[in-house]
Amino acid sequence: MKQAIEMGQIERQKMEEVNHAKLQFFTNITHELFTPLTIICASVDELKQLHPGDAKMYAVLNNNAVRLMRLIQQILEFRKVENGKLQLKVSKGNYTQFLKNSIEAFQPLVRKKGLSIDFREEEEEISGYFDSDKLDKILYNLLSNAAKYTEKGGTVVVSQCYEKETGHYSFSITNPGEPMSKDKMEHLFERFYEGDYRKFHTTGTGIGLALTKDLVNIHHGEIRINSDAVTGNTFVVWLPVDRSAYAEDEIDDSLQVTNSPLLPENEECADSQVVGELAVEQDVPSLLLVEDNEDLLSIMTRLLSAHYRILTATQGQEAIGILEKEEVDLVVSDVMMPVMDGIELCNYIKNKFELCHIPVILLTAKRTEEDQMAGYQSGADSYVTKPLHLALLHSRIENLLKKKKRTGVDFRKQLVFEAKELDYTSMDETFIRNAIDCVNNHLDDCSYEPSLFVAEMGMSRTTVADKLKSLTGLTPSGFISNVRLNAACRLIDENKKIRIADLAYAVGFNDAKYFSTCFRKKFGVSPSDYMLRNKEDNEVSS
């Protein structure tokens, strides 16, 4: 007897080791799959724009890319469960609406197989606390499992209810078919158990239901399987709805529960227009793309060259060489690269005075919070996970470039420099303060021109010009003029009876008429009207 027990323990240990090895293998190759999957998604996007005729074919390609992405994500979720890193974050939402939208999003898949879904909902909608990400995966896996085991023409039945006595929300998903044996039901939630997939001509990883059970357990819920010859096979899930069922660190009231589950990340941008003719305008922004996969780099270049001047590098050191020679408005870099990776490149850019104003977007197949935190700690302005749709990347690029422009506009509106309102880095703030001080020290010197300003800054003309353009949207000459005109406003505030000619000379203009023209262009009124308005405002306030 003792020997049999020991043999059983050894057998179980071996099985655990085999399962762990399988999961480790899947995890290792998963990160490598994200880049080719990104290439597939990007290629489909490009073909769809260039040759939009066959919508059905593109839908098939896209649906299978989405399916592959979900399988990859499930492997990574499993790894998080194993390592105890899968966190629960619940917030208040509408269970009923979430379930209805899940079913609606799943309809195209079941219709394609000739199936239907019958949703039997309660008269009153049910609300409560839940983690929308976890519930999304639970529903997707159970609906997917039901569809796999339902013959063509069959109906999957979904029902829900609120159990007041226990404070639980429950839903069930039933598919018709042969009842399961007791032995099969006992193994159903084990990892890598494949059930009867081959009997139904489907494929499976053997992790979907095991992950589902893990997700239900993390959600402090319960899942059971009932099977009989009359109704078929029914999965029932119970989840606590009350806030009191969850620990404080599991509750996030700031989260907004979405009622649109089952949409894979990035898919909402898939139909955005990205493809076009090569950008030929002289003043288009310059992008540096850094990616060691040549296929992905080529596709990104083709799609984004419609809007930007594109420079490319295959690793960080090569990118630095380009940054030192070329004017670059934004950097998009992969994280995992040889020689110098994306994190190291981002650190270099953000700690190099001449470059720290350049926004950086990191692309990566790594999706853990630790990896993303490392990216942001390196100074990255945005973080995009693979597989990505190029339209999403395009929108991130546009948002960062618009933010830069807004910062320049906000700077030009300020009469007194307020760095905290402009989101500058500490190095950029110091640069701007020094530049303003240089001009103010020569405020009444009309011969103080850009060459003298650049020399006093102690940098190359290119560095000064690039930094000013990025941070303020101004040339060195325009920056000097901007500081002089702001000083003119302050002088008017201090001396409301000052003559226009004296004011012009005091801020470095030797021509009062030209000064008035510049003043009107910046502030929308003449110096004399500004004085009058300022005087009236003071009289009202007094």
What's the CATH architecture for 286-389?
A: 3-Layer(aba) Sandwich (3.40)
Lowest mean pLDDT among 70-84, 173-187, 238-252, 375-389: 70-84
pLDDT of 209 reads 83
Give 259-275 pLDDT, tens digit per residue: 544 444 333 333 333 33
Query: In the prediction, which pLDDT does 360 show?
Result: 95
Using 50, 70 and 90 to split pLDDT, how confident is the model at 224? Answer: very high
Q: Calculate the average pLDDT of the chain.
A: 80
Residue 406 binned pLDDT confidence (cut-offs 50, 70, 90)? confident
For helices 476-494 and 527-541, the axis angle rounded to 10 degrees is: 40
Higher-confidence residue: 260 or 5?
5
Give yes or no for residue 74 having a pLDDT over 60.
yes
168-175 β-sheet, strand order: 116-120, 155-163, 168-175, 232-240, 222-228
Does residue 178 surpass a pLDDT of 50? yes
Instruction: Name the band, by pLDDT with cuts 50, 70 and 90, for residue 65.
Output: confident
Amino acid letter, 443: L
Fold of 91-264: Heat Shock Protein 90 (3.30.565)
Buried b (16+ CB within 10 A) or exposed e, 198-208: eeeebebbebb
> Which pLDDT does position 377 carry in this prediction?
76
**The predicted structure's pLDDT at residue 197:** 38
Mean pLDDT, rounded, for 85-96: 86
Percentage of the residues of the chain whose pLDDT score is greater than 70: 77
> Which pair of structure tokens corresponds to residue 227?
């099977």
Query: What's the whole-model pTM score?
Result: 0.56
Three-state SS string over 299-361 comes to: HHHHHHCCCCEEEEECCHHHHHHHHHHCCCCEEEEECCCCCCCHHHHHHHHHHCCCCCCCCEE
Residue 29: CB atoms within 10 A of its CB come to 10
Give the DSSP H or E segment for 160: strand 155-163
Band of residue 419 on the pLDDT scale cut at 50, 70, 90:
low
Query: DSSP 3-state assignment of 500?
Result: helix
Across the range 365-391, mean pLDDT stands at 74
Please tell me the predicted confidence (pLDDT) of residue 367: 60
How far, in Å, are 91, 105, 227, 277, 350 from residue 261 at the CA level? 15, 8, 28, 36, 37
- Domain 414-541, CATH class in plain words: mainly alpha
| Residue 417 scores a pLDDT above 60 | yes
* pLDDT over threshold 70, residue 22: no
Residue 517, pLDDT score: 92
Q: How many CA atoms lie within 13 A of 412 on its CB side?
A: 23
